[in-house]
Amino acid sequence: MAFLLGWKDILRPIRDGYRHLFPSPDTGPSPEERQRERAIDRLKGFAYLDTFEQLQSWTSADIDILQRANTPLLVRSGHRDKEAKASVLLCHDYAGNYHGYEGTSNIGLDEEKYTCEFLQYVDIFIYFSHKLVCIPPPTWINCLHRSGVKALGTVLIEPQTPGSNELLQRGDDGLSFPLATKLASMADHYGFDGWLVNIEKSFPAPTWDHHILAAFLRQLRLDLGVEKQLIWYDALTASNKVSYQNALNVQNMVFAKACGGILTNYCWKEGDAAESMHNAVQNDIPLENVYLGVDVWAQNTTKLTQPRITYPEYGGGGTNTGVAVAMVAELGLSVGVFAPAWTFEHFSGHGREVEQTLWDGADLPTDATCPCGDPGTRHQPNKTMSVTTSARMYNAGSETFFFTDFSQAFSGHGDRETEILFDGCKMHAQLGSQSILPLRVNQLDTPNPLRHKVEDARGHSQLVVECLTLHPPAVERTPMQTKDEWKIPLYKFDMPADGSLRLRMSYRDVSNTKQFASFYIVVSGMTHSLDHSEHHGSDHHLDVLIGVKDIASPRSARLEELGFLSKAIDADVGTRLAEVDYICVQPVASLPSLPQLVFSRNNTPEATPPQNPQVGTLPKNHAIFNIRKISRDVGDMKHARLCWDHTSNSYSSQGMPYSAITGPFSYFAIYVDDLFVGRAYVPEHALSASFMDHFAARKIPVQVKGIGFDGQELASANTAIHF
């Protein structure tokens, strides 16, 4: 049957009514095999629980530091859309999940896997696997938090799950629910933002009382706190039956209210959506907390007599997922997209391009193939109603902080790294390092000869701005072109431009043409050029105060956009214009005082001394020390780790990220024998057996650098270790 149905049909038989096709629950690994698998996954940073016995015995002492995420959630400054748009929740169900590339130790790969590059359109990301308690890997949490996206785990009770009544057992006081307390504690200690509760099995009838389950959910929500989120999945009803309502209604209202939000099943129709909106308003549930599900896989052909259906009923899902997003947006509700990694699972070798088709309506690759047989017919791009057309787009950064070094989730490396670290593979995964990526070029509404791309360079990533052509265009001037200048926006912001923030940027003008390579910002609708340097090929380190002089209300001025500016003079197609290493916006108080620039009304920069020389002076007592190699036991396995200690002053600058685990350090860069091993987001790093074999019986130099959230090196230490 597995051969006939395919992976997704086996993974999700329950809610589609195929229980009779599902194998008995005893055909999987033995308890001993599961225990060993959990021990191996622990070394990758993965944490999950299979049984209620494991959940009941869990304590925070069980946590391996490799399983913890250190990056705090960057609270977004708001969204840019004035018209009705839908908040997007992604339910990430990718071939069972907990894949090697999602681990904390970078591994070699032959091809890219799924990571979402459209996070500016995502509000919540749920990590889903067929485990009782599914905790998001720290790599995903760090990646998501950096872009302002909440990461949720899943509590899943399936038909074959034993002991489900244990969930609702009271404590010694007869009132509280100990497992609710444990689940909330897990979110705090692992560093994620809440839970999706998905109960796909009826509770024992003699003890059933929907008020008890509602009380459990209310306690869990209270224990999580107001900053975290709890969402009910539309499966179990108040009558103790698994019956997918595909709407918010009286059957699931008590649980949705207890959680504060609901994710419905994906077979709804327009009437169900309207009913959900009405019921949410009548019961004081915020409309944005009602997520109507959409199944991306529903667009596929199937041999089943009862195919999956999602909105719209014919052709929904897949490349028409945006149709459902548009419908939901009209009602002011939100949308939950099931299994967005369909683009990688269904289109082997073309996942990244097809992801752009799903989100942006881009053309399918001409050589794309899929099990449906004819992707050009079955999965036609929807250029007028793609996901981004109706999805809410958020600004980059928070109210006071933004940083990107353009790191991607997958990167190339040198021959030495290929041999020693990555098993002969020319690419490696670094999901936890994915930075905030710039606006996509096809999001521009008008023709523009400027383009940008992110590429690997000298062991790091950089943004490259290049041109298709910069000869005088054969099109009328557009908002992207004024006075023979072309602009390409890179990031949208909503930050104060009152002199309290600084913009730092490192880039090179590599055009070797007569044109200017420059950057600009938009402050309250007015464009200001940042730098008109004509020193081609040289490094530029821009450091300016974000403020505008001589305007009516300087305190109300807002930074809205940053982009690249170029004179349309003369350049060949494909000419590289600039290479950018990093961009940072941060509070003035978070850095030592330096000469600044502000902008006058005529858009020219002017030097100005800092108003308070004391503000921004930080005591420099960050330190890394005691670098060492240790041996750790995980289950019946031994492995080696690099460990180190760190310290810093207690200074936590208002408006800057600060980690409960690593303080002002965003990550630690590890070098062994001048080989860049990777980034560690906690002060330990697991070493592979092949790595240890390569350096065996040798004393090797080791260096650890502590990098701040603004990209600056805060501390560094060296030692020699006998491997």
| Residue 300 belongs to some domain of the structure | yes
Phi, psi at 34, each rounded to 5°: -65, -40
Q: Among residues 379, 414, 431, which one ends one of the domains?
A: 379
b/e 452-474 (16+ beta carbons within 10 angstroms → b): bebebeeeebbbbbbbebbeebe
649 or 380, which is more confident = 380
| Residue 160 belongs to some domain of the structure | yes
The proportion of the chain whose per-residue pLDDT surpasses 70, expressed as a percent, equals 85
The greatest distance separating any two alpha carbons of the chain, rounded to the nearest whole angstrom, comes to 83
User: What is the tens place of the pLDDT at every residue in 188-241?
Assistant: 999 999 999 999 999 999 989 999 999 999 999 999 999 999 999 999 999 999
Beta bridge partners, 527, equal 522
634 and 528 in a common domain: no
| Residue 73 belongs to some domain of the structure | no
| Residue 260 belongs to some domain of the structure | yes
Per-residue three-class SS string for 127-143: ECCCCCEECCCHHHHHH
716 and 580 in a common domain: no
List, in sequence order, every beta strand (DSSP E) within 148-225: 150-157, 194-199
User: What is the tens place of the pLDDT at every residue in 73-98?
Assistant: 999 987 777 788 999 999 999 999 99
371 and 403 in a common domain: no
411 and 547 in a common domain: yes
566 and 532 in a common domain: yes
pTM of the model: 0.92
Lay out the sheet containing 713-722: strands in order across: 675-680, 665-672, 699-708, 713-722
- Asked if the model's pLDDT at residue 350 lies above 60, the reply is yes
598 and 628 in a common domain: no
C-alpha span between 685 and 682 (Å, rounded): 8
- The domain that holds 682 is classified in CATH as 2.60.40.10
298 and 407 in a common domain: no
627 and 597 in a common domain: no
Q: Among residues 575, 604, 633, which one ends one of the domains?
A: 604
b/e 77-98 (16+ beta carbons within 10 angstroms → b): bebbeeeebbbbbbbbbbbebb
| Residue 389 belongs to some domain of the structure | no
- Band the pLDDT of 540: cuts 50, 70, 90: confident
| Residue 121 belongs to some domain of the structure | yes
Which range marks the domain in which residue 590 is found?
398-474+482-604
Q: Which of 122, 72, 85 is nearest to 228 (CA)?
A: 72
**Per-residue CA distances from 380 to 299, 386, 389 (Å):** 10, 11, 16
332 and 253 in a common domain: yes
Given a contact cutoff of 8 angstroms between Cβ atoms, the answer to whether 581 and 472 are in contact is no
- Band the pLDDT of 651: cuts 50, 70, 90: low
487 and 446 in a common domain: yes
Beta bridge partners, 607, equal 597
- The domain that holds 520 is classified in CATH as 2.60.120.260
| Residue 122 belongs to some domain of the structure | yes
User: What is the tens place of the pLDDT at every residue in 405-453?
Assistant: 999 999 999 999 999 999 999 999 999 999 999 998 765 556 678 889 9
pLDDT score recorded for residue 618: 44
C-alpha span between 533 and 509 (Å, rounded): 8
**How is residue 378 written in tokens?**
């079955």
- The domain that holds 202 is classified in CATH as 3.20.20.80
Q: Which of 447, 551, 459 is nearest to 499 (CA)?
A: 551
250 and 103 in a common domain: yes
pLDDT score recorded for residue 609: 43
Q: Among residues 379, 407, 428, which one ends one of the domains?
A: 379
Number of domains present in the structure of the chain = 3
| Residue 568 belongs to some domain of the structure | yes
625 and 600 in a common domain: no
Beta bridge partners, 578, equal 465, 509
